[in-house]
Amino acid sequence: MKTLPKYHPTTPHILIEGGVEFHLGKMKGDTINYDFSKMLIYLNAKGKLLFGKEFKIHEEDHQIIYQLCLYFIKDEVNCPKYNIDPTKGILLSGPVGCGKTTLMKLMRHLVPHRRPYEIIPTRNIVFGFNNLGYSIIEQYGNSHYFCFDDLGVEPEGKHFGKDCNVLGEILLSRHEIFTKCPLEHRTRAMTHITTNLNAEEIEERYGNRVRSRLREMVNVIGFDKNTKDKRK
């Protein structure tokens, strides 16, 4: 995991990167009033540090980034306007190359005073299952804070000749833990997901039970299906 920015516990809206201070908003009493334009400046600078000087935030992505910012700063006023529930995770969907994984790697640096999530490629999880078996489902179907990257590109699991829909089983296990958590502790069992699949494709791949339970676990934020591939 990349090093999170430096900050002082009493001023978590002031982040320090390479000796430069980024003020993401202003304190008013015990509340931080974040400024989206200043958050964009920070995210663009942090993105260049993480991914190279060619990184840039595209104007057409501002609406998606704005919603993600609202979610991560837990903006109680504006989250409901976008039907975002900060007590759930994020399912970030969109076509190949639109920048889903990059954004999820970047956004966790915006709020370093909050518990960070670990980003795990779904392919790696299935490869682990094929080698080690059902202990992998226990490892990821627990209350740790994960972002499962590229849901849907992973192969079917197979261990000692037995097929297993590994991510489907993990998501069902995590749903059970998530719904049993008291509301104030749900971040402990929260799940984020990036995927190229739409809702119907998720149901086709993982079944109606998984699709139904995902509705209880995540907020869906989606890129337009015509978003260009930024890797080209």
pTM for the predicted model, two decimal places:
0.92
Render pLDDT for 78-120 as a digit per residue (tens, 0 to 9): 999 999 999 999 999 999 999 999 999 999 999 988 888 999 9
H or E element at residue 28: strand 25-28
Mean pLDDT score, 221-228: 89
Buried b (16+ CB within 10 A) or exposed e, 138-171: eebbebbbbbbbbbbebeebeeeeeebbbbbbbb
Mean pLDDT score, 210-221: 96
Angle at 109 between CA 103 and CA 110, to 5 degrees: 90
Domains of the chain: 6-222 (3.40.50.300)
Which residues have a Cβ under 8 Å from the Cβ of 51 and sit 6 or more positions away? 102
User: Scanning the structure block, which residue is given the tokens 């980003």?
Assistant: 119
Mean pLDDT over the full length of the chain:
92
| 14 DSSP β-pair partners | 23
Interatomic CA distance for residues 195 and 120, integer angstroms? 13
Task: Classify residue 144 by its DSSP letter.
Answer: S
Q: Looking at the predicted structure, is the pLDDT value of residue 44 above 80?
A: yes
Distances (CA, A) of 70 to 29, 82, 130, 206: 20, 9, 38, 29
| Between 11 and 194, the higher pLDDT residue | 194
Mean pLDDT score, 204-209: 96
Q: Looking at the predicted structure, is the pLDDT value of residue 3 above 80?
A: no
Q: Looking at the predicted structure, is the pLDDT value of residue 29 above 90?
A: no
Render pLDDT for 141-199 as a digit per residue (tens, 0 to 9): 987 899 999 999 999 999 988 899 999 999 999 999 999 888 777 777 899 999 999 99
- Residue 1 confidence (pLDDT): 41
Paired sense of beta strands 191-195 and 31-34, if any: unpaired
| 164 DSSP β-pair partners | 157
Which two three-digit tokens encode residue 120? 């795990």
Q: Looking at the predicted structure, is the pLDDT value of residue 2 above 60?
A: no
Rounded to the nearest 10 degrees, the angle between the axes of helix 36-51 and helix 62-73 is 100
Mean pLDDT score, 50-71: 96
Contact status, residue 126 vs residue 155, Cβ threshold 8 Å = yes
Mean pLDDT score, 63-75: 97
Contact status, residue 53 vs residue 207, Cβ threshold 8 Å = no
Amino acid identity for residue 138 in this structure: E
Which two three-digit tokens encode residue 142? 């627990």
